[in-house]
Amino acid sequence: MIKDMDKPERSKSLLRFAAPQMFYPLAGRLAPWFAAAAVIFVGIGIWLGFFVAPTDAQQGEVYRVIYIHVAAAWMSMFVYLLMAFWSAVGLVMNTRLSFIMAQALAPTGAMFCFVALWTGALWGKPTWGAYWVWDARLTSQLLLLFLYLGFMALTRAIEDPRRADKAGAIIALVGAINVPIIYFSVKWWNTLHQGASVSLNKAPSMATTMLVGMLVMAIAAWAYTIAITLWRVRSLILERERHTEWVAAELNALEGKV
Amino acid sequence: MSRALGPFAAVLDRDLLLAWRGRADVLVTLAFFVVVVCLFPFGVGAEPNQLRAIAPGVLWVAALLSTLLSLHRLFAQDHVDGTLEQLLLSPEPTVLWVVAKISAHWIATGLPLVVAAPALALLFDVEQSALGVLVLSLALGTPILALLGAVGAALTLGLRGGGMLLALLVLPLFVPVLIFGAGAVDAHLSGSGAQAHLLLLGGGLLGALALAPLACAAALRIAVE
């Protein structure tokens, strides 16, 4: 394995990027583009959402928080799926980069989870009169945040990186199987306990500019996630491979630049 | 058939014997359950209607916490003295003896909770007709907790601060069991019938029995590697 790393094959297969040494420069080249895309789309999305989109007939100006809230909530769920996907790939193919990918995604997912809960609370106060209701979506989002925290705590508590990788992958997969179960159980519990609870459903017809603004913000969230994950992957690769020659050379080059 | 059950029975026998020899540990789990349940009236007041309303939830949360506290003992001793490595090296299927260990653990720590629960429910003035549902829901639900918890126990094996980490890992996964377990008693008391909840718990038990030992076996191999 280590021999292969020292002499990376010059094949044209995309799989060659599964080697951390090959992926490191690729991630460095791609990340700024995604970061730039994120900035541009956030700009457009905020402009559309806060200046162009009309005021909601029922909720007034408060509804504008959805431009951040919905994108964050979508992203927090997608990121967990991605994390579980890379964990499965890592367990099946035994590629270190997949585990690094999963671990680089987790903090961003947790961040989006927290942002979705926080903006949801700020939206809930003027709309429902309470910062928090035990609604199915809010509750399952909170449990998703706990799953992220558990994953991050476990991978950081284990010192041996190989064990940390695999243990994290298993808990990510166990969590992924449980997410739908948790969602439906909470939903059912909610309907049983609260009767007619506050509906999160928005007005049936949505102005096109509102929808476009939300989609643009979702694209921005994607671009941000990709950029920040690639940067985090680069840091993790440097940390993991710090004993190798290419990392030493890379670090020397970086110091030369500064 | 008997050849497949041989190692299962051997590990089950051994773990039950160990639990019996160290029964003080087992009794501590039960005592914890009883004490936690008895704390609630002091916290929320002794108003009978209120106590009756919270009883299923209190009993279930207490059962969940005592299960959690006993989980670290599931593999820790065997890990320290090397038995776990020997078991992993043996030609017997890992999943088989993992299920045996979890079963023994449940018999030693889960079953006493199930037996003690009705007596505690009487302290909360729960209707006697609901006691059967409570026992049944705990009997179906606590094995799920043991199975899911075993995965967490295997993942955190030998880690510093493993106890808190274990709680963070498995408590979110316990939520559906808690919902359907406490919900079964509530549904019975409200007259809508506990059948749906109990069936879901039974389904969850079968699902957990099929999947959790696989994850647990993989986690044990990683931990010992």
A107-129 mean pLDDT: 88
Which has the higher per-residue pLDDT, B21 or B1?
A: B21
A207-224 mean pLDDT: 87
Beta bridge partners of A60: A56
Which has the higher per-residue pLDDT, A63 or B197?
A: B197
* Shortest distance, CA B173 to any CA of chain A (angstroms): 7
**Is A71 a residue whose pLDDT tops 80?**
yes
B134-158 mean pLDDT: 93
CB contacts, 8 Å: B175 with chain A: 143, 182, 185-186
**Tokens in use for A204?**
């049936």
CB contact under 8 A, A157 and B176: no
Which has the higher per-residue pLDDT, B100 or A205?
A: B100
Structural domain boundaries enclosing A178: 32-235
CA B50 to chain CA centroid, nearest Å? 27
Residue of B nearest to A162 (CA): B222
**Is A118 a residue whose pLDDT tops 80?**
yes
**Tokens in use for A62?**
């408060």
CB contact under 8 A, A170 and B219: yes
CB contact under 8 A, A157 and B161: yes
Range with the poorest average pLDDT among A84-88, A189-193, B56-60, B157-161: A189-193
**Tokens in use for A111?**
């961040």
A114-142 mean pLDDT: 84
In a domain, A39, yes or no: yes
Q: Calculate the alpha carbon distances from A62 to A59, A104, A130, A199, B139 in Å.
A: 6, 33, 14, 16, 48
Distance from C-alpha of A92 to C-alpha of A98, rounded to nearest angstrom:
10
Helix, strand counts (H, E) of chain A: 8, 0
Range with the poorest average pLDDT among A205-209, A230-234, B22-26, B199-203: A205-209
Residues of B within an 8 Å Cβ radius of A: 148, 151-152, 155-156, 159-162, 165, 168-169, 171-173, 175-176, 179-180, 183, 186-187, 204, 211, 215, 218-219, 222-223, 225
Cα angle value A48/A49/A54 (rounded, 5°) = 95
CA dihedral A134, A135, A141, A147 (to 10 degrees): 50
**Tokens in use for B126?**
């729960």
Question: What are the residues whose beta carbons fall under 8 Å from the beta carbon of B54, sequence distance 6 or more?
Answer: B40, B44, B124
Question: What are the residues whose beta carbons fall under 8 Å from the beta carbon of B121, sequence distance 6 or more?
Answer: B55, B59, B130, B131, B134
**Is A194 a residue whose pLDDT tops 60?**
no
Beta bridge partners of A56: A60
Distance from C-alpha of A179 to C-alpha of A148, rounded to nearest angstrom:
12
Q: Band of the pLDDT at A233, cuts 50, 70, 90?
A: very high
Which has the higher per-residue pLDDT, A59 or B139?
A: B139
Split into its structural domains, chain A has a count of 1
Spell out a b/e string for B163-191, using b for 16 or more CB atoms within 10 Å of the CB, else e. Answer: eebbbbbbbbbbbbbbbbbbbbbbbbbee
In a domain, A168, yes or no: yes
**Is B205 a residue whose pLDDT tops 70?**
yes
Distance from C-alpha of B155 to C-alpha of B165, rounded to nearest angstrom:
10
**Tokens in use for A184?**
């439906």
* Shortest distance, CA B46 to any CA of chain A (angstroms): 23
The per-residue pLDDT for A10 is 55
**Is B106 a residue whose pLDDT tops 70?**
yes
B196-209 mean pLDDT: 92
Provide the 10 A C-beta neighbour count for residue B90. 11
Amino acid at A80: Y
The per-residue pLDDT for A46 is 85
**Is B44 a residue whose pLDDT tops 90?**
no
In tens, the pLDDT along A147-170 reads 999 999 999 988 888 889 999 999
Provide the 10 A C-beta neighbour count for residue A154. 24
In a domain, A195, yes or no: yes
B133-160 mean pLDDT: 92
Tell me the percentage of chain B whose pLDDT exceeds 90: 46
Which of B212, B205, B98 has the alpha carbon at shortest distance from B142? B205
Handedness of CA A17, A20, A21, A23 (dihedral sign): positive
* Shortest distance, CA B136 to any CA of chain A (angstroms): 19
Question: What are the residues whose beta carbons fall under 8 Å from the beta carbon of A214, sequence distance 6 or more?
Answer: A45, A49, A66, A67, A70, A71
